[in-house]
Amino acid sequence: MRFFAAISICLLMTFVSCDTPKASGENPFLTEWNTPYGVPPFDRIRPEHFMPAFERGMSLHDAEIDAIVSNNDEPTFENVILAYDNAGAMLAQTALIFEMLCAAENTPQMQALQEEVMPLLSAHADKIRLDERLFAKVKAVYDRRATLDLDAEQSRLLKKTYDGFVRSGALLDAAGKERLKQINEELSVTSVKFGNNILAENNGYVLLLEASQLDGLPNSAREPAREKAQALGEKNKYAFTLHKPSLLPFLTYSSKRELREELYKAYLNRCNNDDEYDNKALIGDFIRLRTEKAHLLGYPSYAAYVIADQMAATPAAAYDLLEQIWTPALESAKRELEEMEPLFKKDYPDGEFAPWDWWYYAEKVRKQKYALDEEMLRPYFSLENVQGGIFFLANRLYGITFRPIVVPVYHPEASAYEVLDADESHLGVLYFDYHPRDGKSQGAWCGNYVEQTYDADGRRIAPVVSIVCNFTRPTRNEPALLTLDETETLFHEFGHALHFLFHDVKYRGLSEVEGDFVELPSQIMENWAFEPEVLRQYAVHYRTGEVITPYLIEKMRRSELFNQGFMTTELIAASLSDLDIHSLAEYEPFDPMEFERRALTEKRGLIPQIEPRYHYPYFSHIFDGGYSAGYYFYTWAEVLDKDAFEAFRESKDLFNRKIADDFRRKLLARGGSEDGMSLYRAFRGQDPDKRAMLRSRGLWNEPEEEDETAAEAAN
């Protein structure tokens, strides 16, 4: 995440009520930090510190902008573009911490702050981007760019700065600018409400069961549910929630079909219950406002506006990729359904296979077809060992090491590591926060608390990075044992972390990459997760110390395409529904659920046994998570990541240090210093090839080479 499904946590030790003795004292945002490694002083930060910090940050930012505008010297790269890039540092730092904590620690006090702060920040950003005097100076430099003798990075920063102003409405007339400000303010409020509603729904549902209702569930699912019930004050009961570590094992193993249906429908119907947390009206507000914004800025749809700034460039290019995958993926899913139907009919001769049956019968097929189930694998994937595995991989590829450190943390469950480069110099700090809590959003993401940059004296400011997940908790009898999906997720988020840690970007304005490029550094790490050479380093039975056997590794290899039709179909369905709703050329009131049904079922033939990965009312990525018209990013980046990994395969060395060093220097370290495709070509020496991605999902078979003798005979 970066992105970033949000998650929810209980009250942090740093977030105490205002009337405690610790709440007094200096505001840490208004003083210099004297913390180890430059981490935020989490032990001193209170919710009441944020508003004064935001007010001070906006005031300083205004003064810095005024200094640029008031300068009577001829506009230059240094006194306009560089000065603008350096402005607002305090505000940006405060906003980073606030946004990260709102995802990982969204208390009622923080929620109230969000609703108050986000419109203020939106208005502040618009005031600057729509300042005619400031834009005139930016444009003056841009218009003379050919005569300025700028280097490549300076030219890139100038172009990105100018384009950023134009995309933010700098060319609009006065009336257009005023309306754009109103739209942006409304969108900021709508986003906060949408996310808070999902958080409330996630935390508000519990399926409370008796021991007699747990048929089929392994102890790895029962024990966390028992402990959750105890935490809720329910003795001798078992509590299942909508968080994935609770939901998915229940859907996979519970033989009580009616209970699987109850839990899954509760998950599917979040924020779609015509109550105070219903998000359907907010979805209408999003589309109405975003469509109007796109039209104001000269685009036919919001999707066209968003994607114009991405690698894909047009919605048509994104659709083309998704639709190439959709048909073969759906056909593959239908074949998977055919394999499950006999097992289902044996249990329910007159029944109809439903979405809440898929995980349960897919697991039966896996056992039958591959003699493999996740319960026999999980003891090899303790969280501690998987974390050790990613540390091992990073060391083999890049020579970096990780040292546990004692620093302020935002929650007692968070841990921190200093990251040391190959020459043992300080590279950055990495926090981990692994388990679900109330107040933490669902999903997993990676982000910065401190961004890499350079100070006025040219010294590198090291990043402070955080990986946040919602993984299976340890119980009193067992450590946290991860599923294969959770294991892959940790490798994924660690890839984002490496991207942040390796950043070596001179200008703040060149830090970000295109959205459909950002998942490349994360997704490429997934390719190593289950390679035998890597598994043998970290997949160790937590009780016996036995390294995973070649027999189990071979079973995993043979089953690597298992259920890929289903997983690809639900992913592409969500990507298409995102593009569809943001490609509307005109807004008229509509029922989002009916719109989604027509787009996926009527238009594209999605079978009723599969639900899209996200329905609109809880599709956080596209409504409050930064991926609007961009859920296709994962698939676009998968083309890149699978092709990039081919470089290692072709070298016959999955730990090839030269290739890894190239990947770091030419791609990970560069941020947005060049456009994503240029960075990719510099690393790979060619355009990406889709075939590696299609093969990995079982959607491409290499054509057999024609036998030379047969070919000669045919001629």
Q: HSE on the CB side for 35, CA within 13 Å?
A: 22
**Model pTM score:** 0.93
Whether the per-residue pLDDT at 307 is higher than 80: the answer is yes
Partner residues linked to 403 by β-bridges: 418
Cα–Cα distance list, 414 to 200, 302, 494 (Å): 23, 38, 15
Q: What is the pLDDT of residue 55?
A: 98
Whether the per-residue pLDDT at 711 is higher than 90: the answer is no
Q: Which CATH number fits domain 280-372+563-623: 1.10.1370.10, 3.40.50.920, 1.10.10.10, 1.10.1740.10?
A: 1.10.1370.10
Residue 245 CA to its chain's centroid (Å): 18
Contact 95, 35 (CB under 8 A): no
Long-range pairs for 340-346: beta carbons < 8 A, 24 or more residues apart: 340/364, 340/365, 343/368
The residues that are catalytic are 493
Average pLDDT, the chain: 93
Element (H, E) at 576: helix 564-582
Q: What is the pLDDT of residue 22?
A: 39
- Which tens digits make up the pLDDT trace of 123-152? 999 999 999 999 999 999 999 999 999 999
**Residue whose C-alpha is closest to residue 532's, from 514, 510, 556:** 556
Residue 106's pLDDT band (boundaries 50, 70, 90)?
confident
Burial pattern 199-226, b for ≥16 Cβ within 10 A else e, equals bbbbbeebbebeeeebeebeebbbbbbb
Q: How far apart are the first and last CA of the chain?
A: 56
Domain range 46-129+131-171, CATH architecture: Up-down Bundle (1.20)
Whether the per-residue pLDDT at 4 is higher than 60: the answer is no
**Residue whose C-alpha is closest to residue 469's, from 505, 503, 498, 493:** 493
Contact 251, 259 (CB under 8 A): no
Rounded Cα–Cα distance for residues 608 and 603 (Å): 13
When mean pLDDT is compared across 16-30, 249-263, 564-578, 642-656, the lowest value belongs to 16-30
Residue 48's pLDDT band (boundaries 50, 70, 90)?
very high
**Is residue 227 classed exposed, middle or buried when 0-12, 13-18 and 19+ CB atoms within 10 A define those classes?**
middle
Residue 102's pLDDT band (boundaries 50, 70, 90)?
very high
Whether the per-residue pLDDT at 13 is higher than 80: the answer is no
Cα–Cα distance list, 86 to 27, 141, 151, 625, 636 (Å): 23, 17, 18, 26, 32
**Is residue 593 classed exposed, middle or buried when 0-12, 13-18 and 19+ CB atoms within 10 A define those classes?**
middle
Element (H, E) at 498: helix 484-502
Cα dihedral angle (379, 380, 385, 391), rounded to 10 degrees?
A: -150
Cα–Cα distance list, 162 to 84, 126, 136, 169, 700 (Å): 11, 15, 10, 11, 42
Q: What is the pLDDT of residue 702?
A: 66
Residue 439's pLDDT band (boundaries 50, 70, 90)?
confident
For residue 593 the two structure tokens come to: 């659920």
Whether the per-residue pLDDT at 706 is higher than 60: the answer is no
Residue 705's pLDDT band (boundaries 50, 70, 90)?
low
Partner residues linked to 467 by β-bridges: 432, 446
Residue 105's pLDDT band (boundaries 50, 70, 90)?
confident
What are the domain boundaries of the chain? 46-129+131-171, 205-268, 280-372+563-623
Alpha-helix runs per DSSP H in 144-243: 152-167, 174-204, 219-231
- Which tens digits make up the pLDDT trace of 596-619? 999 999 999 999 999 999 999 999
Whether the per-residue pLDDT at 709 is higher than 80: the answer is no
Q: What is the pLDDT of residue 374?
A: 87
Q: What is the pLDDT of residue 161?
A: 98
**Residue whose C-alpha is closest to residue 144's, from 164, 162, 130:** 162
Whether the per-residue pLDDT at 451 is higher than 60: the answer is yes
State the average pLDDT over residues 350-354.
97
Q: What is the pLDDT of residue 9?
A: 26
Only one residue has tokens 């969204």, namely 106
For residue 189 the two structure tokens come to: 């409020």
Number of helices (H) and strands (E) in the chain: give both, helices first: 28, 9
Q: What is the pLDDT of residue 703?
A: 64
Whether the per-residue pLDDT at 189 is higher than 80: the answer is yes
Whether the per-residue pLDDT at 373 is higher than 90: the answer is no
Residue 25's pLDDT band (boundaries 50, 70, 90)?
low
- Which tens digits make up the pLDDT trace of 194-226? 999 999 999 999 999 999 999 999 999 999 999
Q: What is the pLDDT of residue 19?
A: 32
Rounded Cα–Cα distance for residues 383 and 487 (Å): 8
